[in-house]
Amino acid sequence: MREIVFDTETTGFKFSEGDRLVEIGCVELVNRVETGRTFHAYYNPERSMPAEAQAVHGLSDAFLSDKPVFAAGVADFLDFIGDAPLIAHNASFDFGFINGELGQCGFPPVCHKTRMIDTLAISRQKHPGAKHTLDALCSRYGIDRSHRVLHGALLDAQLLAQVYVELMGGRQIGLGLSLEPEAVDSGPVVTTTPRRQRPIRVFAASEGEIAAHAAFMKGVSDPIWGTVASG
């Protein structure tokens, strides 16, 4: 089962009031295991960045000035997410901005009824009365977030992917023996990191071990197995 965990950064809270998307980060899961494939992009919002928003994610007008607009990279984004379920924390917020940008480009919205998974709602159901921020959930599940100084879409998506697995009961090791399918590169924004594999274990005795065993056997007098064999 393929799923995409994602996060966005924006200029504010409401697309309908003129706020825009400035960053998307996506992490691919297959059977709730990270594959190493990610999508990450910055976008020029074609408007100024409010100081309060910049204080959250650190993305300035100067930094975003040479980045493409969302419409220029929408095809890469849609290719990466495909038809997979989309997982986000407070997902209605992120879906609102993605669908707002898609609509402005003339693309149909991503269906929130069939594809949206909200980890905030899952956390509230699983841990009533507790704190449900991403930081709080990382602390609950022992996920290292020491490198999270500012909000960042890809970093937050990577942390959320670990949180999501824990919310759903923890990682279960699959029994499949097939190799991972080769990742299809859809551009420089997509990265593929090879998954770590255990080295092949060799169970045959070495020549040195065989020689040591033979020397040991020569020192055994009147072995019981010799009596059984001759009986």
Q: Specify whether the backbone of 90 is left (phi greater than 0), alpha (psi in -120 to 50) or beta.
A: left
The structural domains of the chain, ordered by start, are 2-191 (3.30.420.10)
**pLDDT, averaged across the chain:** 85
Burial of 140 (0-12, 13-18, 19+ CB in 10 A): middle
Q: Which residue among the candidates 112, 147, 151, 213 is catalytic per the annotation?
A: 151
Q: Is 151 tagged catalytic?
A: yes
DSSP 3-state of 87: strand
Determine the pLDDT at residue 174: 45
In percent, how much of the chain has pLDDT > 70?
A: 81
Q: Closest Cα partner for 68 from 192, 149, 187?
A: 187
Give pLDDT tens digits for 152-194: 899 999 999 999 999 999 865 444 444 444 443 444 456 655 4
156 is in an annotated binding site: yes
Cβ count within 10 A of residue 158: 19
Q: Is 28 annotated as a binding residue?
A: no
How many CB atoms are closer than 10 A to CB 130? 11
Confirm or deny that 182 is annotated as ligand binding: no
Pairing type for strands 86-88 and 33-42 reads unpaired
79 is in an annotated binding site: no
